[in-house]
Amino acid sequence: DKGNVLEEQSVVKKDAPVGEDYTTEQKTFDGYTFKEMDKTSAPKEGKVTKEDQTVIYVYTKDTTPEPGTDKGNVYVKYVDDKGNVLEEQSVVKKDAPVGEDYTTEQKT
């Protein structure tokens, strides 16, 4: 929805008689979700007119990271009920893929 072209424009009907039916299809693109038809878009199905018509599908980029592409860190630090540090912060996971499982344990 930022104006990036996901697929080059293609001709649905060329030099077709006025009044002939046309149909377009919503496509799928990895990393994008269909949002809506553009405000200036011709209908996805309709009839050929004298004027050129452009059908515009609008997609939004998915915000969920693809597995393995984004990385993150997990740290653990132990403090008492007054905030005093019992054990300094240590690394549980470093540069781990987002969504990867991790475990920590309660100390006694």
For the stretch 44-58, pLDDT in tens is: 999 999 999 999 999
Q: Are residues 1 and 33 in the same domain?
A: yes
Instruction: Look at residue 64 in the predicted model and tell me its pLDDT.
Output: 66
Q: Which domain holds residue 78?
A: 65-97
Q: Are residues 43 and 79 in the same domain?
A: no
**Domain contains 83:** yes
| 37 token code pair | 């038809």
Mean pLDDT for the chain overall: 89
Q: Are residues 35 and 17 in the same domain?
A: yes
Query: Residue 85's pLDDT band (boundaries 50, 70, 90)?
Result: confident
**Domain contains 72:** yes
Q: Are residues 79 and 93 in the same domain?
A: yes
**Domain contains 105:** no
**Domain contains 79:** yes
Do residues 58 and 3 touch, judged by C-beta distance below 8 A?
no
**Domain contains 102:** no
Q: Are residues 7 and 33 in the same domain?
A: yes
Please report, rounded to a whole number, the percentage of residues in the chain having pLDDT higher than 70: 94
Distance of alpha carbon 97 from alpha carbon 65, whole angstroms? 10
* Count of domains observed in the chain: 2
Compute how many other C-beta atoms are within 10 angstroms of the C-beta atom of residue 87.
10
Q: Are residues 9 and 41 in the same domain?
A: yes
Instruction: Look at residue 37 in the predicted model and tell me its pLDDT.
Output: 93
Phi, psi at 102, each rounded to 5°: -150, 160
